[in-house]
Structure 1
């Protein structure tokens, strides 16, 4: 059982580290370290700049015995649905209860190649096709849809077992995602997962440095959440115009990267907006502060994906483990 003691509706709170597969060996080490730290799971990202998704999931599953591995997330555009279905059948059969397919319309993995995100109708067909294929083979898949708005949340409610809500830690926006998803389904169980960036510092100076380093990651997360529409996302009216204008210059070549990128300086003249994005899309601070923030967020969701600073993944996982212990 996970060491996480925070509870929601009587169940143990679940935390997943989000990871991009830099190399097979490092993916195995990160997964093993997550399991040892008491994390419930790990999400593997799908990006053209990193390792192949399902190979990385296989590496993570093989390096652990109880850790739940999910794709976080893939899309219906860059692979045919039958490729995803084959992977779901194989990994779910080999590791019962330990593999989940997370998918969305497509963000950086799609835009990088000049492609367009999947329409909602295609997203829904994709989910049904993968699920039907798996069940025909006697496999019960677990599907998660990445959603940042009400329309995609409704698709999640119709075709999936849960939603990864890409709206940061805002309780109002998370409640909207939950309500829209539940309105589109029957009374079957349904999970809502939050997604935030995390960085734990040992002292105030390191916390300040970590906040600076997480600015481009918070900008990337907010771009996914807000670029298409602000509907149902509880964005302050005084920020909406500036956000919409500057997202037009967003650089997908630097998506999700830390360091001195154009995304990192997008709001350098608006520290109020930088602070807003960091506070909404990241959990940064000393261990006690981060634990308190996650405990508060846990009252609104069934689990939380924690995106790591990938260049410092191993020490950050150790700090998460110490925080949970």
Structure 2
């Protein structure tokens, strides 16, 4: 029994590994085995030198230990790696995986801020993506006015590799529709945010002579799957608080924020501490709770609960038109995928 068949949602997962010792590699191997077993079709590692080891190493292990799922890095950014470097990574993964590599490009969050840098602007992201594509296809490109040349393009497994854009705000959603092979929408899972996001992606797609049907559209969600609902809610607090900050840090315009929550959101984002990003019991979680934003963030960004509640939430999202959910699982554990396989999937 697999995802994406019989009306079940397609699922993807992005997570991190906290070390690369024998036990961690064994855990990673077991998780990849379950992911392939149940038909999870996108498997990726986040790219943040702040929180975990190098994403390229882990993505290589993923490519070697899977056979069907697309594998790659989700998300990366245009700030901490040169496009020629990332193009080489993407082409290498594509060769290793025999055409299964993918990359999700975002503006940059903790990877940028905790290196004393600023996230990449939309124009930079567009230039970066174009540069990577040209390098993979021809070996020649330009980036920010600088010539880029590589010699490995002649050995690329494919002349194209799948590049998604992770988009939250209205202008990024439009950009994603215009330049992405696919879009990972992070605007939220509420009915009003879903409708608005699709309209903006569609507008961007039209600018490049395409329709929504030409794009591989996914929705990112913050998951927490535990034996009890209370435990799942507690475990998710760090991730949920980070989702609220990430999607609102550049302002609320065009983001379907209830007016009565705007003052609390503004204070929360202004005081967000990136050095405590996704900490389950840090100051960011405390401020989220004190601001009365917890329930709103869970409903807008989360898939949280015990197995029955988790399955019910996925069915609810399907009723809203979401049939491709890409989980940003953070430090995912083996028992999460075991619960997904043994108790959530049979209920769908």
TM-score normalised by the chain length of structure 2: 0.84
Tell me how far 1:218 sits from its aligned partner.
0.6
Q: CA deviation at 1:302?
A: 4.9
For residue 16 of structure 2, what is the aligned residue in structure 1? 20
Matched residue SS, 1:164 = strand
The alignment covers a number of residue pairs equal to 315
Number of the residue aligned with 1:38: 39
Question: Matched residue of 1:263: which SS?
Answer: helix
1:229 to 227, 233, 251: 251
Residue equivalent to 2:144: none
Q: Distance in 1 between matches of 2:306 and 2:81?
A: 41
SS in 1 for 2:80: coil
Counterpart CA distance in 1 for 2:45 and 2:191 is 25
Contact 2:87 / 2:135 at 8 angstroms: preserved in 1? yes
**1:256 maps to which of 278, 302, 308:** 278
C-alpha distance in 2, partners of 1:256/1:131?
32
1:293 is the counterpart of 2:323:
no
CA distance in 2, matches of 1:218, 1:117: 20
State the shift of 1:300 in Å.
2.7
Displacement, 1:309? 5.7
Find the aligned partners of 2:252 and 2:172 in 1 and give their Cα distance: 13
Check whether the contact 2:226–2:232 (CA below 8 A) recurs between aligned residues: yes
- Extract unaligned runs of 5+ from structure 1: none
> Superposition RMSD on alpha carbons, in Å?
2.0
Larger Rg, first or second structure (1 or 2): 2
SS at match of 1:184: helix
Give SS of 2:221's match: strand
Match in the other structure for 1:73: 75
Matches within 5 A, 1:1-325: 2-5=2-5, 7=7, 13-24=9-20, 25=25, 26-48=27-49, 49-136=51-138, 137=153, 138-185=158-205, 186-187=209-210, 189-202=214-227, 206-258=228-280, 260-270=281-291, 272-298=292-318, 299-308=320-329, 310=331, 313-322=333-342, 323-325=344-346
In the TM superposition, what is the alpha-carbon distance from 1:216 to its structure 2 partner? 1.9
Note if contact 1:166-1:195 (Cα within 8 Å) is conserved in structure 2: yes
CA distance, structure 2, for counterparts of residue 292 and residue 144 of structure 1: 28
1:177-202 deviation digits (Å, cap 9, x = unpaired) = 22222212222611221111222233
Structure 1 residues 231-268: Cα deviation after superposition (integer angstroms, max 9, x where no partner): 2222111111111112111111121232x211110133
| TM-score, L = length of structure 1 | 0.90
Offset, 1:67: 2.0
Structure 2 unaligned segments of length 5 or more: list them: 139-152
Asked if 1 retains the 8 angstrom alpha-carbon contact of 2:264 and 2:293, the reply is: no
Tell me by how many angstroms 1:95 deviates. 1.8
- CA–CA distance in structure 1, aligned partners of residues 246 and 271 of structure 2: 14
Alignment partners' CA distance in 2, 1:168 and 1:34: 24
CA contact under 8 A between 2:80 and 2:112: conserved in structure 1? Answer: yes
Partners in 2 of 1:27 and 1:316 — Cα distance? 12
Moved more, 48-57 or 129-138: 129-138
On the 8 A contact 2:232/2:306 being kept in 1, the answer is: no
Bigger mean CA offset, 120-129 vs 276-285: 276-285
Distance 1:19 1:155 in 2: 25
Question: How far apart are the structure 1 equivalents of 2:133 and 2:323?
Answer: 22
Runs of 4+ in 1 over 4 A off after TM superposition: none
